[in-house]
Structure 1
Amino acid sequence: MVAGGNAGGPAGPTLAVVAREAGVSVPTASKVVNGREDVAPETRRRVTEALERLGYVRRPRFDASKAPGLVDLVVHSLDSSRSGAVLRGVEEAAYEAGLEVVVSAGASRGRGDRAERGWLDKLVGRGSAGVLFDLAELTPAQHSWLGQHRVPYVMIDPAHEPPPGVVSVGAANWQGGVTATEHLLSLGHERIAVVAGHRLTMAAAARVAGYRSALASAGVRLRPEYVRHGGFEQAPVRVRVRELLDLPEPPSAVFVCSDRLALGVYEALWERELRVPNDISVVGFDDLPEARWVTPGLTTVRQPLSEMAATALRLLVRLMNGDRPEGTRTELSTRLVERASTARPRPRPGADAAESCLVIDPLGPAGPPR
């Protein structure tokens, strides 16, 4: 546990004074100061009010001679090409700003007291001037700790809606979902399924909403059985794809809300001896290097991860300098990258001549089915 301090200097109130004012023990007041979870909401409220009333504010101890211009980057993990893209963007922007970056993996995912105290205390010990969080799921206590200690921070693609006033950077996920679905509609697909991550995450919800909007605009009926959520791992996604293929009327195309999950879709189709795109078209989201490596190459919606990370670093610098951005949410545009995983749908067995005729592409001349 990091000992409490006071921004007001030696003459300011001690933690014991704060505890007495709030009617709690010193250890309980210390738990609130250090962002611990094991405090009742009413107790946390009383201590927080006492801290504010008495002017007790502990800030991270910044030692310019020890770590000049130091910021932290907390990423979900380091074993993915996504994290590599984020690191590149932060590194380039940090170099331009004359900053040094410390990278931590998975630090914000801890739910226990020890895990939470660990990275918070390290942040204080290093004297970091600010923090970037990528794909983070911060607890209310962690948000409270950062706010209480006036630590500037920016969230990159947060998993959930941040509290009011928290600055975040993301992609235009809704528009990306629209673009992916419109691409499949333009090829003549109407039986379009969507496979997304956890339904409560911001990105997945927005991409599925874009999918729904594109279908509605095209006058195509939304089939609830075509909407599937498989989490963030490939194994459950393969299960969701098998469920789709076992429907009485399986989809002819699938919009997958991440490239990583799209690899799981490829595997499930391969297990059923189905070919992409001859039997079913697939569109992903992210444009990670894997989208170019798989066969056939994955048509996907590109979100500018490196640009998002660089933008977040520049916003963090503004916060560190005491400048508040006009808005708290910044969204960067997405675009479709066409490769070989999408094609016109094959005529269904028993389809009449009217159903099996070539669909005219309103966006350009129709090529032969691949």
Structure 2
Amino acid sequence: MPGANGSRRVRGEIETLPSGSLRVRVYASLDPVTRKRRYLMETVPAGPTAAEEAEAVRARLVSEVDQRRATAATVTGPPPPQTTPAGRGHQRRQGEMTVARIARLANVSTATVSKVLNGRSGVAQQTRDQVEAVLRQHRYRRPEMPARAATIEVVFYGMLSHLAIAIMQGVEQVASTQKISVGFTDARLQSSAGRSWAHDLLARRPVGVITVHLTFPPEQHALLAANGIPLVALDPTGEPEHSVPSVGAADWNGALAAARHLLHLGHRRIAAITGPTERLCARARLDGIRAALDAAGVPLEPRLTRTGQWFAFEDGLNHGRELLRLVDPPTAIMCGNDLQALGVYEAARRIGLRIPDDVSVVGFDDISPTLWCGPAMTTVRQPFTEMGATAASLVLALAAGHAPRHERVELATTLIVRDSTAPPTGH
């Protein structure tokens, strides 16, 4: 009951955000359908008077909740008797997994399980692995998810500027319409520092996560899933061990079109430099090249095929030099990406060959330098901005509880013909 001065037992929460702002949250009601808690929330900007303003906001939100409940009671009559203990959102079904049961199975305290679920420090790695294994085995899901930060987190493995900027632009296009911010994490830096990117994200509690050119072990996926954080993979490097919606480009079709372009020009000795074959996109591009050549009765010769360690400039430089120094060198070289193709450009320059007079070169991606190099490069364009936007739309739909129509979305690639390809000499 209120006291003489109108004060009452403190209700609601005031959380300090990374920006210094204060988020005020007051429990309002229980959703009758989903049985999830509803809250009134408001953010107070950082400043010297933020704490006082937050307390005033909390009092106002509490008063608003009380008014709503009073109005509802007038219209519908008194509420039915409580069937759950006070302070509980809902009663779990018998046999449903709880934090306490997870703790017993993992032989740890409930506080330790909570730390693991929230990505907090203070847990030994062996203990963390033990708890994560139990969470994964029993497919634990939190009954009441904590409030999410209005952020989509994009996780890269190495911030490749020529790709990352376009992808982030696409994510931002969609996120901005929902008044959601975009953050990024470099998983390679996290790994080198001995940290897990998934653990760090749990502490930040984003609306959703998009991984780019990345594979992730089952424990990372299980941690995000247990906390209700949806995950979308953009061009994953391998087949996930679990069901994760993904967005990619039509790599096979793009490579097929590029190889047909060279065949149409009259090339028959066509070489291929691929990316690492454990990458899905590298295999798809090589298969597209092989399909076009097989259909034309010009099989891809093993001696004209090279596998790059990375999709790197050095792959094109080293393998290009080997191919161009063969007794019967190729008249055209198709590369796994534009960086490899730029490496072939440099290999040809060092040997004294001219592009496309002595050898035609095709890249893949259509990054900005393909327009600036001499000659301008023929390549296959990947729609990176559109891929980012599609991944953002998908992860926000998942966060809203909508099931995806398709587990895999592929966007079209486009052959861009420029000056690095021409008919072979004497054709």
The answer, yes or no, to whether TM exceeds 0.5 is: yes
Q: Could you report, residue by residue, the CA deviation over 1:137-181 in whole angstroms, capped at 9, with x for unpaired residues? A: 322321222223221111111111223421111000000110111
Contact 2:331/2:359 (CA < 8 Å) preserved in 1? yes
1:309 aligned residue: 388
Whole-Å separation in 1 of the counterparts to 2:187 and 2:201: 11
Flag the structure with more relative contact order, 1 or 2, with Cα contacts below 8 A and sequence separation at least 6: 1
Whole-Å separation in 2 of the counterparts to 1:282 and 1:51: 50
Contact 2:316/2:342 (CA < 8 Å) preserved in 1? no
Which aligned pairs between 1:61-80 and structure 2 lie closer than 5 A? Answer: 61-62=146-147, 67=149, 69-80=150-161
Question: Do structure 1's residue 251 and structure 2's residue 330 form an aligned pair?
Answer: yes
Relative to the length of structure 1, the TM-score reads 0.80
Which aligned pairs between 1:147-166 and structure 2 lie closer than 5 A? Answer: 147-166=225-244
Contact 2:338/2:367 (CA < 8 Å) preserved in 1? yes
Does 172-181 or 143-152 show the bigger shift? 143-152
| Shift in Å, 1:103 | 2.0
| Shift in Å, 1:284 | 0.6
Contact 1:192/1:254 (CA < 8 Å) preserved in 2? yes
| Shift in Å, 1:25 | 4.0
1:283 aligned residue: 362
Distance 1:56 1:339, change over 3 A: closer
2:162 aligned residue: 81
Whole-Å separation in 1 of the counterparts to 2:218 and 2:281: 20
2:211 aligned residue: 133
2:194 aligned residue: 114
Q: Could you report, residue by residue, the CA deviation over 1:227-285 in whole angstroms, capped at 9, with x for unpaired residues? A: 11112222233111122123332111011111122111111111111111010000111
Does 82-91 or 42-51 show the bigger shift? 42-51
| Shift in Å, 1:11 | 8.5
Question: Do structure 1's residue 93 and structure 2's residue 177 form an aligned pair?
Answer: no
Distance 1:240 1:179, change over 3 A: same
For structure 2, the residue ranges without an aligned partner over 5 or more in a row are: 1-36, 38-87
Question: Do structure 1's residue 294 and structure 2's residue 373 form an aligned pair?
Answer: yes
Count of residue pairs the alignment pairs up: 331
| Shift in Å, 1:317 | 1.2
Q: Which amino acid aligns with 2:104?
A: R
Matched residue of 1:269: which SS? helix
Relative to the length of structure 2, the TM-score reads 0.70
Does 235-244 or 152-161 show the bigger shift? 235-244
State the identity %: 38
Q: Which amino acid aligns with 2:392?
A: L
1:226 to 300, 304, 312: 304
Distance 1:194 1:126, change over 3 A: same
Does 24-33 or 261-270 show the bigger shift? 24-33
Contact 1:109/1:136 (CA < 8 Å) preserved in 2? no
Contact 1:215/1:222 (CA < 8 Å) preserved in 2? yes
Distance 1:344 1:332, change over 3 A: same
Distance 1:249 1:51, change over 3 A: closer
Question: Do structure 1's residue 18 and structure 2's residue 97 form an aligned pair?
Answer: no
Matched residue of 1:286: which SS? coil
Does 73-82 or 221-230 show the bigger shift? 73-82
For structure 1, the residue ranges without an aligned partner over 5 or more in a row are: 1-6, 348-357, 359-370
Matched residue of 1:131: which SS? strand
Cα root mean square deviation, aligned: 3.0
Matched residue of 2:306: which SS? strand
Whole-Å separation in 1 of the counterparts to 2:324 and 2:114: 55
